[in-house]
A and B are shown apart, each in its own frame.
Chain A
Amino acid sequence: MPTRTARSNGAPTPTRPMVGQTLAIARRILTEYVRQRRSLIFWAVFPALMLLLFGLMYRNNASLQASFDTTAAGILIGAALFFSCLGGTVSLIVAERERRTLRRLLVSPLRPAAYFLGLVLALSVIAFCQAVIVYALAYAMGARYHGSVWLGVLIVALSVFAYVGLGFCFGARFAKRAEDVNGPVAAFGVPLLVLAGTFFPVSLLPEFLLKLAFLDPVFHMNQALKGVAGRGAGWVEISTHLHFLVAFAAVALALGIRSYRRLLLEEKRA
């Protein structure tokens, strides 16, 4: 068997600071998005239009304020973060494959966790901007944010984590080329959105689907944020959802790292 030992040489021996690698990944992704612009514009316009549409639609059953109070959270989770964080992750992974940079990263000392966290960080910045846009528009329509802002930030952060983890799985398993990006997002992502009651009340779901919805991370993101933002719910009231999201964030991290390793393995075999 070949010998396997660590070594050093005359050249500078770089350390592998996880934080530095994470920040490098995040900065690179954000710079690319800013230069491309198109994705950022779509990710701003789409949730804004969806918010107006659903806010006005639900006005039949409630006041304009109440309608937008309820709709804003669902739109942020389902129309904004879903596409930027889940769709965005799948696209980023495919792009990394297509431009062959994955191979370059493969021979580097980049840690899988740093890659995952770098994506989470970059997409969190985008998620924050989307949250500002969605709630600014909702505010303009008379809605108010009723609960703790920090609790809202925590839910959004956990949501980003979960979406990125799912995106890693979908991207690593099902998306080899740019044309493949929409497939897994539509096939697996959209059903999760629908099951989560993103665009309509979960009370419409039959009992067995409601039970199934409890396994859907998007359901817990929605219900937690709707509770906090729409009804002013506190930690205790949304604790079930939070526990699920925290657990799922850990699972997402594990899935992400595993998926990244799988990607690298495939790249090695290529």
Chain B
Amino acid sequence: MNLVRFERIRKSFAGKLVLDDLSLSVDRGEVYGLLGPNGCGKSTAINVLCNLLDPDAGTVRIAGDAVSGDAKGLVGLCPQDIALYRDLYPGENLRFFAQVYGLSGSAQKRRVSELMELFGLERFGRMPVGSLSGGWQRRVHIAVALVHSPAILVLDEPTSAVDLEARHELWHLIDALKRTGTTILLTTHHLDEAEHLCSRIGIMKNGRIAKEGTVAELLAVVPAQAIALVETATEDAVLRRAEELGWGIRHYADKLGCLLPQQASLRAVVDALRDVDVSAVSVQRVSLEHAYLEVVQSATGATSHSGPVRDNDEASPLIRKEAGR
């Protein structure tokens, strides 16, 4: 059942259309991942949901009713930047926001201690938030967004600027929230995070959802069972060989991606390319990163599935990852 519905939301800034008839829905109890390149309208969509921006047209509904100024308690916003009172203890931050949301007395006490326990914050009871590590500050940050038991929790890049270990701990935490039935709208640039956490994912491009579905449904967008990444100085030769073999081609940064119609071993791929001069080959399963690129690039009309990918495309985590290797 839909808890949140964006119904044909349009929003422009200074004549530039940022949300273009955006429609999406989030079911009760699911974790919905909103992905997309910078500037695609994710933040604007969140601001409209949080009633921070009025749409030019369309309606956002939570549990069937249109979002309005009187519905501020329905959304728990966890912004990308940590927004806490650094001199206060974690419990004091929670109590403060609980009071702001009108919780008092035993209800407030109960909610604060529930969250302290759920987020493992009791052991930092007498430590100012500013003295905690980034990962623990993130936990307090998320807990504060939940203090008033909102209908939907909005996590805007919840693991940005934390180390790998803290990131995995936050994943566990979000998993735990998912098990309690919390409805979550999550934005992230980490596709592995979306793959791990989200029940459904919407990929935004140019202010609207370009593709939506479960991870499995999105993976089906890539016309391959596996991808062979090839490094070569003689690209034309590889392209010719791929054509002979009936493989599709994608460009991922400085590597060629050969779309393999069936799962294939590394040895089989190397054998297939034995007459071609290649310096490195690896075989990967099709991942959300490949699906994301497939959707984002085709939605722009710029993909040439074999055309070069722009180096400065921030929407391409795969490309960043590859380039970093």
Chain A positions near chain B (C-beta within 8 angstroms): 1-17, 20-21, 23-24, 27-28, 31-32, 35-36, 99-101, 103-110, 268
Contacts and interface: CB of A to CB of B under 8 A. Distances in A.
Contacts of A109: 72-73, 100-102
Contacts of B47: 268
A15 B103 CA distance: 7
Given A5-B65, A7-B65, A35-B128, A14 B103 contact: yes
Nearest to A35: B87
Nearest to A33: B87
B59 interface: yes
B104 A20 contact: yes
B92 interface: yes
B151 A10 contact: yes
B82 A12 contact: no
Contacts of B65: 5-9
B87 A5 contact: no
B86 A2 contact: no
Contact of A24 (B70, B71, B99): B99
Contact of A11 (B60, B104, B150): B150
Nearest to B54: A2
B225 interface: no
Interface of B: 47, 50-55, 57-60, 62-66, 68-75, 77, 79, 81-88, 92, 95-97, 99-104, 107, 128, 144, 148-151
B180 to A, nearest CB: 13
A27 B85 CA distance: 12
Contacts of A108: 72, 97, 100-101
A21 B57 CA distance: 34
A228 B112 CA distance: 48
Contacts of A101: 83-85
A106 to B, nearest CB: 7
Nearest to A34: B87
Contact of B101 (A2, A3, A14): A14
B68 A4 contact: yes
A6 B55 CA distance: 17
B79 A103 contact: yes
A99 B107 contact: no
Given A109-B100, A268-B53, A99 B72 contact: no
Contacts of B52: 106-107, 268
A107 B104 contact: no
A6 B68 contact: yes
Nearest to A14: B102
A2 B71 CA distance: 15
Nearest to A36: B87
Contacts of B86: 99
Contacts of B66: 2-5, 7
5 contacts: A9-B74, A12-B148, A104-B97, A107-B51, A108-B72
Contacts of A99: 83-86
Nearest to B145: A104
Contacts of B51: 107
Given A7-B63, A110-B100, A104 B53 contact: no
A31 B102 contact: no
A51 to B, nearest CB: 30
Nearest to B95: A24
Nearest to A102: B83
Contacts of A24: 95-96, 99-100
B85 A15 contact: no
